[in-house]
Amino acid sequence: MTYPPADGNQDPYQPPQPPANDPTLQYPPPYTPPTSPAPSSGPGYSPTPGYKSATDGAGYPPAGAGYPPPSAGYGPPPGYGPPGAPGYGAPYPHYGAQRPTNGLAIASLICSLAGLVTCISAPVGVVLGHIAKKQIRQTGEAGDGMATAGLWVGYILSVLSLIVIIFYVVVVVWAIADGAAGNTTF
């Protein structure tokens, strides 16, 4: 393909060229000042009757020439209260107070998690979790999820603690039995 095209059409991939300058057009048009004077400064201007002009006062109406009092007019549309009544009505009531959380459920979860460090408090967390679940069923308090979590963590840590204790007992019994047989290798 050759540029520009041989058929004389403009190449569609080239940006358009600006038109040639026309000496008869001027852009922007020359500024022409307004021919009429400003409303407050021209000759023949007279202030509104009953008001002071800017030269002899502040432009206030004469004393006693105030506006007439507003007429009673129409009342509010039917179905609406008088002006000043609350526009949106009463706020929505709360859907119920938040239920208190069962304290034993919290204690169950804390004791079960403390069983990671102490290995003794995990069974205490299991007992507290069962008591908390019973109380929650009776009273309707919140905290069922915490009690369940305390039970799960407590049971898992209790089982792991039992496995570790059984392992230590087996190792100690094996060491005592091996030592009693006289198989010492010093």
Q: H helices within 62-120, ranges in order?
A: 103-118
Does 131 score more than 70 pLDDT? yes
pTM, full prediction: 0.47
Does pLDDT of 28 surpass 80? no
pLDDT of residue 127: 97
pLDDT greater than 60 at residue 85: no
pLDDT at 33 (0 to 100): 78
pLDDT in tens, 157-185: 999 999 999 999 999 999 998 877 766 66
Which residues 6+ apart lie within 8 Å of 16 measured at CB?
10
Q: How many helices (H) and strands (E) in the chain?
A: 3, 0
Q: Residue ranges per domain, the chain?
A: 103-180
